[in-house]
């Protein structure tokens, strides 16, 4: 929005800028802001939380726990297991997207469920497709 200085002043003494269209202002943008963006107050202090990155091979890491569970189920060599392990490594290294670790953890859980679904049985792709429907 464009404002025009007509030389008027607010009751606080600041210059009163009038909008080019619409109702005339009787108070400045500080005394009567359009919305919260115009309030002149100190910004709140931003606190940045640091997430501890883990080595994927470290005991207690998500990668190690996932690999152990997939090995016990006997499906560690499947593509589903590899996808789950890659997601676990991304969580451990802190390589997450804009949604943070929550989105990657959810996808890891789904990948683990998919990998463990066929544990202990040999199923053809046709059986898998028709089982989901």
**Has residue 51 been placed in a domain?**
no
Both 31 and 93 in a single domain? no
Q: Is residue 101 part of a domain?
A: yes
Number of domains in the chain: 2
111 assigned to some structural domain: yes
The 10s digit of each residue's pLDDT in 71-103 is 988 888 888 899 999 999 888 887 777 677 788
Determine how many CB atoms are found less than 10 A away from the CB of residue 93: 14
Same domain, yes or no: 72 and 32: no
Quick check: is 52 in a domain? Answer: no
Q: What is the DSSP string of 53-76?
A: P--TTSTTSHHHHHHHHHHHHT-T
Q: Are residues 72 and 125 in the same domain?
A: yes
pLDDT in tens, 29-50: 778 766 665 555 556 666 655 5
Sheet strands (E) in the chain = 3-9, 15-19
Q: Is 48 helix (H, G, I), strand (E, B) or coil?
A: coil
> What are the structure tokens assigned to 69, written together?
């569970």
Task: Note whether 72 and 126 are same-domain residues.
Answer: yes
Residues 74 and 107 in one domain: yes
Residues 68 and 116 in one domain: yes
55 falls within a domain: no
Q: Look up the domain containing 87 and give its range.
A: 62-132
Whole-structure pTM value? 0.51
Q: How confident is the model at residue 122 (pLDDT cuts 50, 70, 90)?
A: low
Residues 79 and 18 in one domain: no
* Residue 85: per-residue pLDDT: 92
């Amino acid at each position: 929005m464009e404002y025009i200085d007509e030389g008027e002043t607010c009751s606080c003494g600041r210059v009163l800028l009038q909008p080019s269209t619409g109702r005339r202002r009787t108070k400045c943008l500080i005394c009567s802001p359009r919305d919260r963006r115009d309030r002149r107050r100190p910004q709140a202090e931003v606190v940045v939380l640091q997430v501890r990155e883990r080595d994927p091979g470290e005991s207690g890491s998500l990668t190690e726990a996932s690999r152990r569970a997939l090995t016990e189920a006997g499906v560690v060599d499947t593509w589903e297991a590899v996808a789950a392990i890659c997601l676990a490594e991304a969580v451990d290294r802190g390589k997450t997207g804009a949604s943070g670790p929550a989105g990657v953890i959810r996808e890891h859980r789904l990948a683990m469920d998919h990998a463990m679904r066929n544990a202990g049985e040999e199923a053809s792709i046709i059986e898998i497709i028709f089982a989901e429907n």
